[in-house]
Amino acid sequence: MKDWSARAAALYDKGFRPMFVDGKWCAAASGEVFEARNPADGSLLATVPKGGAADIDAAVTAARRAFEGPWARWTPFERQALLLRIAERFEAEWQDLCLSDTLDMGMPISRVLANSRRVLGMLRFYAGQAVALHGATIPNSFPGEILSQTLREPVGVVGAIIPWNAPIAGSVWKIAPALATGCTIVLKPSEEASLTVLMIARLMAEAGLPEGVLNIVTGLGSEAGAALAMHPGVDKIVFTGSTATGQSIARAATGTLKRVSLELGGKSPVIVCRDADIDKAVPVAAMSVFANSGQICIAGSRLFVAREIHDEFVRRVAEYARNLRTGPGIDPETEIGPIISGRQADRIGRFVQAGRDEGAELVTGGTRLEGPGHAGGHFIAPTVFAGVRDDMTIAREEIFGPVISAMPFDDLDEVVRRANDTPYGLAAGVFTTHLGTAHKLARRLRAGNVWINMYHAIDPAVPFGGVKMSGYGREGGIEHLDEYLETKAVWINTD
């Protein structure tokens, strides 16, 4: 077993970590800072600039200058080579990147390390796409020698705002398509987890990224994030986070009619049919929520189980939950890490109390964990509720914590209606051994992602996104690149 303690002490020494604007490391214009603390024990990791509107303006100006300057002359093959060099730098420092995520936002180190295929795959996938972008020659109805064709051009300066629950993957999912298409980018990480994103900026600069192409402004969402969303120099805003914040960003973008992509919240259903393989379904259904302590937008927090197997299935999920090892993410044996902050832990606690007050049966968990291995941190035991009604708070609202709401169902028409009865539509899971049932539910569930006999599968080549109040636009796949490109029609009279 690897001991990460010494490496962790060397990685962050409570010092100042500047932000990255126009290829330079700098403090905020105001000189203000905020603290980055380890959610597992409350210890100080570093101080970070508290950027504001002036810093966003400087970053957008740098990004515009780069977009209209040397970066515009880079060929697709040069952009591809850059992305491949960045992938090599990530691979060389992968352990430190993962350790940074673990320290800054609490994800268990074993889980972060396992994301290498996805993150490195994203960089290499978009590197491949950089040289595959092209327009088309289109037949038209005009007589004579008139040629019509399209060009695919970068949208311009991209403003990106990411949440705290997966800094490495979240950053790359915004930066890589921007670089592949020839855009420039200003990225505002969450104030809850900024350190890994600053490390990413360093690695990309070391790989040869030109000045101003990538800019990182740290700060509060209400200040730096709002300034980025409203800035007239930003051509596109891309956001991952809560639905409420996404609505605010969409409103802010209307002033300049900038393009917007939103990946927002979810209240995803997991449906376990009577013919499901229970042995295989129990751990997957449980971890659809408990992974990353429930702090994941696609969490399968509404568990619908066929009535014939409901009691047994819920009992086994609760048993699985009780056996999960909760503790600091730096411990390689930890399966469930801390909640990001005391404020978020308190919010989850209020949902648990609402479930009890509204009559749901608390089968296991629901408590704050303290004592050895949990001192100073924000830990909540994996929680399972039974006897949940569709109208209960815990069945309607996104909790963003390790809480499962289990409910029985009698037939497929009923469960489809209930599963779709939510303002969200990000993801869904189905467990069945019947191929016809799998296809039928995949078609009828209103969600951007449906997993059959599995969960959490995300690949760079496959589009990801939601419907309804879970946002619009896609990340991953060739559809993702369309979000960063404009299509220009060109007409040529050759006669």
Q: Which two tokens stand for residue 5?
A: 């303690």
Kindly state whether residues 18 and 141 are assigned to the same domain. yes
Residue 77 is part of which domain span? Answer: 5-264+470-490
According to the model, what pLDDT value does residue 28 have? 98
Q: In this predicted model, what pLDDT tens digit does every residue of 78-115 receive, in sequence order? A: 999 999 999 999 999 999 999 999 999 999 999 999 99
258-316 residue pLDDT tens: 999 999 999 999 999 999 999 999 999 999 999 999 999 999 999 999 999 999 999 99
pLDDT of residue 463 exceeding 70, the answer is yes
Q: What pLDDT, in 10s, does the model give residues 244-258?
A: 999 999 999 998 999
Specify the pLDDT at position 144. Answer: 85
Q: 72 with 127, same domain? A: yes
The partner residues of 261 in beta bridges, in order of sequence, read: 238
Q: What pLDDT does residue 446 have? A: 98
**Does residue 328 belong to any structural domain of this protein?**
yes
Does 181 lie in the same domain as 60?
A: yes
Question: Are both 257 and 291 inside the same structural domain?
Answer: no
Q: 349 and 394 share a domain?
A: yes
Whether 56 and 179 share a structural domain: yes
463 inside domain: no
Q: Which residue is catalytic, options 297, 335, 475, 483?
A: 297
Question: Is 464 a domain residue?
Answer: no
pLDDT tens digits for range 141-189:
999 899 999 999 999 999 999 999 999 999 999 999 999 999 999 999 9
Domain match, 220 and 324 both:
no
297 belongs to the catalytic site: yes
Task: Please check whether residues 253 and 283 belong to one and the same domain.
Answer: no
pLDDT digits (tens, 9 = 90+) for 8-47: 888 998 999 999 999 999 999 999 999 999 999 999 999 9
Task: Kindly tell me if the per-residue pLDDT of 432 is higher than 80.
Answer: yes
CATH number for the domain harbouring residue 338: 3.40.309.10
CATH of the domain at 73: 3.40.605.10
pTM equals 0.95
**What's the total number of domains in the chain?**
2
10 plus 152 within the same structural domain: yes
Average pLDDT for 325-336: 95
What whole-number percentage of the chain has pLDDT above 70?
A: 100
Percent of the chain with pLDDT over 90: 96
pLDDT score, position 115: 92
pLDDT band at 495 (very low <50, low <70, confident <90, very high): confident
Interval 49-58 mean pLDDT: 98
pLDDT at 1 over 60: no
pLDDT at 2 over 90: no
Residues 232 and 345 in one domain: no
pLDDT value of residue 9? 85
- Please say if the pLDDT value at position 230 is more than 70: yes
263 is catalytic: yes
Residues 191, 263, 398, 475: which is the catalytic one? 263
Q: Are residues 104 and 141 both part of a single domain? A: yes
Same domain, 39 and 107: yes
Q: Provide the pairing of β-strand 269-272 with 259-263.
A: unpaired
Average pLDDT, the chain: 96
Mean pLDDT of 487-491: 97
Asked whether residue 465 is domain-assigned, the answer is no
